[in-house]
């Protein structure tokens, strides 16, 4: 594991300590949890962008399929 030094405003550090204490943990574990959440968010965004790129230019077909699945096909 690697150590990390951060410069935070005193008020922000105080608030983070309060949050950590309320969760029954310490600042190090709180930052571990926050970094996990940020990484998961970045991964989800990357997956979304990848899927959006694959579907680019195929919006009309996608809407057509949704209509069909909802029973609102062209014949309805």
Q: What are the pLDDT digits (tens) for 5-53? A: 999 999 999 999 999 999 999 999 999 999 999 999 999 999 999 999 9
Q: Is residue 56 part of a domain?
A: yes
**Residues composing the chain:** 76
Q: Is residue 59 part of a domain?
A: yes
Query: Which pTM value belongs to this model?
Result: 0.67
More confident residue, 1 or 39: 39
Q: Is residue 60 part of a domain?
A: yes
pLDDT of residue 31: 96
Q: Which domain holds residue 65?
A: 10-69
Integer Cα distance of 14 and 1 in angstroms: 25
pLDDT of residue 1: 84
Q: In this model, does residue 76 exceed pLDDT 60? A: no
How many whole angstroms from its chain centre is CA 37?
A: 7
Instruction: Note whether 16 and 30 are within 8 A (CB).
Output: yes
Integer Cα distance of 9 and 64 in angstroms: 53
Integer Cα distance of 40 and 24 in angstroms: 23
Provide the domain count of the chain.
1
Instruction: Note whether 64 and 76 are within 8 A (CB).
Output: no
Q: Is residue 75 part of a domain?
A: no
Tokens 């919006």 — which residue? Answer: 59
Q: In this model, does residue 74 exceed pLDDT 80? A: no
């Amino acid at each position: 594991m690697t150590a990390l030094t951060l410069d935070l405003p005193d008020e922000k550090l105080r608030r983070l300590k309060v949050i950590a204490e309320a969760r029954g943990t310490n600042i190090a574990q709180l930052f571990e949890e926050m970094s996990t959440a940020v990484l998961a968010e970045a991964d989800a965004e990357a997956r979304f962008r990848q899927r959006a790129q694959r579907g680019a230019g195929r919006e009309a077909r996608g809407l057509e399929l949704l209509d069909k699945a909802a029973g609102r096909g062209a014949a309805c």
